[in-house]
Structure 1
Amino acid sequence: MQSAPGTRRYAAVDLGASSGRVVVAEIGPDTLDLREAHRFANVPVRAGGTLYWDILHVYRGVLEGLRAAGPVDGIGIDSWAVDYGLLDERGALLGNPVHYRDARTERANSDVPFEELYARTGIARQPFNTIHQLAAEPGLATAATLLLIPDLIAYWLTGRIGAELTNASTTQLLDARTRGWDPALAAGLGAAASILPPIRRPGEVIGPLLPEVAAETGLSPDTRVIAVGSHDTASAVAGVPAADERFAYISCGTWSLVGVELDQPMISEEGRRANFTNEAGIDGTVRYLRNVTGLWPLQECVRVWSAADLGELLEQAAREEPFRSVVDADDPVFHAPGDMPARIADFCRRAGQPVPDTRARTVRCVVDSLALAHRAAIDEALRLTGREVDTVHIVGGGSRNALLCRLTADACGLPVVAGPVEATSIGNVLVQARADGAVSGTLADLRALIRRSQPLERYEPRPEAAVPGAGRSGPRA
């Protein structure tokens, strides 16, 4: 497939916690068209009591996707954060990367007091952050190099070692102010600072494909792999179609990443207590956000219900009494896979609330709870930063959930702009295209192209909506 006149083609390798895919984009000054070339399952494997990523299966899926993509002018890779592979001195992988939901994260902990960690890195407390995983890592003493997941895939494609900035910032090993590694934190784990590879920034060319990779995929050996916002949320926020700076964002999928975009880190004791994190974004921005459990409980409910039709359940849920039952999805009881409907019922029972007794009421409970969690995180972000926002942007898979978008607008008392669904892939390919000269300009210019080319849905808050405490996120004087 040849590019249309005036456009170029880029492949986004987008690796998620349950599936991976390769998306191909045609991009020009006023063109942004995407198609999915290949999708594959990403299923973790439990062995010897440990939950691992099947990273070689993931890599095989990437190669098959690049072969299906056909000739492209660039390749960018994004994935989930915090997990990593360790290489020996010859560059060989020492073992399968451990899944961040593995039980070791429950007992792992860095020796550095959290107050000090936050002051140095600006990253919120999460038991699965890389620094805590490394504290329980038996292979650390024999490792020569640590590569986060997208950097590991890039290494296998190009032979080049490095660490892309946006994902590196999630490890809790990066100095929030200098945006370089904090060698003392690595040393505190008993690791040499040399285990942490050189930092790359989005838009830097990593290198051309290795000859054997080019032969395997049918691509030209001159095809370049380009560093993008390799933390998928960094690419997703770059894909937010904001018209100005007065916006909050929700990147909604398995997790909801809720926050605002800043020019500098906001590191304060209040922010630490509220569990807000300062993650690096595109063009020197900071993603000031809080992780909220997103659609994970709903996804687990649907899995337990097997053949359930989610679209039909959401339609039924929309007709249920609002805010009859609400759960705190960030409660640890909801974190692990399992019988989520039973856990939701038990939580409501213990809280003295009506127990959802149908699938539709269970779905309504989950969506109501998530809308309120979105509002709480936005309220807190605005309070901590003093920012004013006029719009909430929901991107990612959650932007297709009309009930969730409408309830979030009602809860926040602000318009919600939903879409694009493919914000992560869009942010990925636009950074590539700008580095390659197919488009130009600032992050605002890239977002303008998204507004011109992508379908978006707008939800206005309903004054009559019976949302507890609605309107608290509205514009401030």
Structure 2
Amino acid sequence: MKRVAAVDLGASSGRVMLGDVGPDFLQLRELNRFWNGPVRVHGRLHWDILHLYRSTLDGLQAAGALDGIGIDSWAVDYGLLDSDGRLLGNPVHYRDARTDGVMERVLEEVPAAELYAVTGLQQLPFNTICQLSAEKLEQATSLLMIPDLLGYWLTGEIGAERTNASTTQLLDVRTREWSDELISRMGLPRRIFPELREPGDVIGTALPDETGLVPGIPVIAVGSHDTASSVVAVPAEHDRFAYISSGTWSLVGLELDAPVLTDEARDANFTNEGGVDGRIRFLRNVMGLWILQECQRVWGDDDLDGLLRDAAAAPPFAVLIDPDAPEFLAPGNMPARIDEHCRATGQEPPRSRGAVVRCILESLALAYRRTLRSAQTIADREVDVLHVIGGGSQNELLCQLTADASGLPVLAGPVEASALGNVLVQARALGEPLPDLSAMRALVRSTHSLRRYEPQGKPADWDAAESRMIGTR
């Protein structure tokens, strides 16, 4: 039996989970859960990175003796170290406005077709390449993605784990190495890009005097992009599956053996991100439950169950939005933005909170439907089942709407997929007989309950709704 800690940092909350792994046994227990979110200082959005580190240490110290520690987090954001190894400033949040208009400048330096041919990444305004193009880098000597930064503070060792590095739009998707040509063309200093690590590599041992942890605990690189860890824990029985890693963002796609770098994939804005064991996560980002979370924040209403009951009772397809519209990206008054979006597209805005929630969830289900169909066509891959993992797998209304919209059975769960994937990669590195992803997924299936949703309703209703939704884009 291996006893490891998974530090799992999402874009709205973080957690430290204790994982016990052995033959036919896989169990998680929460040690610490804490808030995460943007902090605005003089007009700029930052992550409260010291709060995240302190909360991580609180959870790890509560664990006592451990066989390993692994860290995963959201993608694209980073910290910069100076020549003394000190953090130059609080990491900037990807929703900050400093990258407004930067993507256009990036594409002037490297045309979209060339950029996609090397990196295979979806064009998003907050990709690391855009953020670095808005930085002053004269004093920087190392760029560390968020999990690499926390790993450095735990161990004193600098490096970059490949699955998260693949989200920077500066990694060659074929060679899985930093693209020196892109780095040079963007005028970025090559010195800041550290040596790359594989999931399963030992980063170093936690420094007991610095961290207060038991001496000798190895810190292990996992699929440090949380979606990479989540996909490890998809409880699939075969390769004819699609997945939605559902949380603040929804990552919708397929797992492939090789990247798809066609013009069709680029035009559809699909990304080819690195996964554990060299697999490719062929997916698109869909705005996800962020829109609902921001509505709840503005309303001051944390009764999600009540909101979902009201949404289930609201009339179907009354109003639809494009959840990927740019006006929904930044924090703010989301109910008012939905109202403005509806008026701009010739629709009567929803009048009740239940109707707003229904609008959000139906619009998300339609975005999933469109993305899944495009992914199958572009990758020439048919799927039989859709796995919904992460926090959104608990949203019964969204899961049922997703099954209805996609025409696929939905298997919902596990909720803590990213922590489970984190734990499984650590356990394998420590010698547990989990030779491949199939073995890891079989262990998840045998130890965790899933809920199945069968498609209901009339496909023609969803066809009509999709036609209407196209008019909102």
Normalised by the length of structure 1, the TM-score is: 0.94
Looking at structure 1, the residues matched to 336 and 152 of structure 2 have their Cα atoms a distance apart, in angstroms, of 43
Range moving further from structure 2, 411-420 or 50-59: 50-59
1:317–1:463 Cα change, 3 Å: closer
Looking at structure 1, the residues matched to 85 and 446 of structure 2 have their Cα atoms a distance apart, in angstroms, of 44
Q: 1:3 aligns to what?
A: none
Looking at structure 2, the residues matched to 413 and 470 of structure 1 have their Cα atoms a distance apart, in angstroms, of 15
* Helix, strand or coil at the partner of 1:99: coil
Q: 2:349 aligns to what?
A: 355
* Helix, strand or coil at the partner of 2:27: strand
Matches for 1:365-404 after TM superposition, within 5 Å = 365-404=359-398
* Helix, strand or coil at the partner of 2:11: coil
On the 8 A contact 1:59/1:153 being kept in 2, the answer is yes
Asked whether 1:211 is paired with 2:221, we answer no
What letter is aligned with 1:204?
Answer: D
On the 8 A contact 2:96/2:330 being kept in 1, the answer is no
Asked whether 1:189 is paired with 2:186, we answer yes
Asked whether 1:156 is paired with 2:150, we answer no
What are the superposed Cα offsets for residues 398-456 of structure 1, whole Å, 9 maximum, x if unpaired?
Answer: 10001111111111111000000010000000000011012322101100000000110
Range moving further from structure 2, 201-210 or 187-196: 187-196
What are the superposed Cα offsets for residues 76-135 of structure 1, whole Å, 9 maximum, x if unpaired?
Answer: 000011111111122111111111111111132322222211111101101111111111
On the 8 A contact 1:411/1:467 being kept in 2, the answer is no
Range moving further from structure 2, 37-46 or 427-436: 37-46
On the 8 A contact 2:407/2:459 being kept in 1, the answer is no
Which of residues 109, 128, 131 in structure 2 aligns to 1:130? 128
Deviation at 1:376, TM superposition (A): 0.5
What letter is aligned with 2:228?
Answer: A
Which of residues 292, 299, 303 in structure 1 aligns to 2:297? 303
Looking at structure 1, the residues matched to 250 and 302 of structure 2 have their Cα atoms a distance apart, in angstroms, of 23
Deviation at 1:19, TM superposition (A): 1.8
What letter is aligned with 1:38?
Answer: N
Looking at structure 2, the residues matched to 272 and 68 of structure 1 have their Cα atoms a distance apart, in angstroms, of 46
Looking at structure 2, the residues matched to 43 and 257 of structure 1 have their Cα atoms a distance apart, in angstroms, of 19
Which of residues 227, 242, 260 in structure 1 aligns to 2:254? 260
Matches for 1:62-141 after TM superposition, within 5 Å = 62-109=56-103, 110=106, 111-138=109-136, 140-141=137-138
Deviation at 1:247, TM superposition (A): 0.3
Deviation at 1:171, TM superposition (A): 0.1
On the 8 A contact 2:317/2:465 being kept in 1, the answer is no
Normalised by the length of structure 2, the TM-score is: 0.95
* Helix, strand or coil at the partner of 2:434: coil
Long gaps (5+) in structure 1: 1-6, 473-477
Asked whether 1:412 is paired with 2:406, we answer yes
What are the superposed Cα offsets for residues 263-284 of structure 1, whole Å, 9 maximum, x if unpaired?
Answer: 0011011111100000000111
Q: 1:4 aligns to what?
A: none
On the 8 A contact 1:174/1:180 being kept in 2, the answer is yes
Q: 1:198 aligns to what?
A: 195
Range moving further from structure 2, 190-199 or 200-209: 190-199
On the 8 A contact 1:146/1:196 being kept in 2, the answer is yes
What are the superposed Cα offsets for residues 320-362 of structure 1, whole Å, 9 maximum, x if unpaired?
Answer: 2211111001111111111111211222222222321111111
Looking at structure 1, the residues matched to 201 and 381 of structure 2 have their Cα atoms a distance apart, in angstroms, of 31
Asked whether 1:165 is paired with 2:159, we answer no
On the 8 A contact 1:209/1:225 being kept in 2, the answer is yes
Asked whether 1:225 is paired with 2:219, we answer yes
What letter is aligned with 1:80?
Answer: W
1:159–1:318 Cα change, 3 Å: same
Write out the 4+ residue segments of structure 1 that deviate beyond 3 Å after TM superposition.
Answer: 463-467
Matches for 1:455-470 after TM superposition, within 5 Å = 455-464=449-458, 467-469=461-463
Deviation at 1:463, TM superposition (A): 4.7
Q: 1:475 aligns to what?
A: none
Which of residues 285, 293, 303 in structure 1 aligns to 2:287? 293
Looking at structure 1, the residues matched to 392 and 464 of structure 2 have their Cα atoms a distance apart, in angstroms, of 20
Looking at structure 2, the residues matched to 347 and 114 of structure 1 have their Cα atoms a distance apart, in angstroms, of 29
Looking at structure 2, the residues matched to 240 and 458 of structure 1 have their Cα atoms a distance apart, in angstroms, of 14
On the 8 A contact 1:411/1:471 being kept in 2, the answer is no
* Helix, strand or coil at the partner of 1:170: coil
Looking at structure 1, the residues matched to 349 and 43 of structure 2 have their Cα atoms a distance apart, in angstroms, of 34
* Helix, strand or coil at the partner of 1:266: coil
Q: 2:469 aligns to what?
A: none
Range moving further from structure 2, 396-405 or 83-92: 83-92
Looking at structure 2, the residues matched to 225 and 60 of structure 1 have their Cα atoms a distance apart, in angstroms, of 17
* Helix, strand or coil at the partner of 2:264: helix
On the 8 A contact 2:128/2:168 being kept in 1, the answer is yes
Looking at structure 1, the residues matched to 465 and 250 of structure 2 have their Cα atoms a distance apart, in angstroms, of 20
Range moving further from structure 2, 162-171 or 346-355: 346-355
Range moving further from structure 2, 458-467 or 430-439: 458-467
Which of residues 142, 146, 168 in structure 1 aligns to 2:143? 146
Deviation at 1:466, TM superposition (A): 6.3
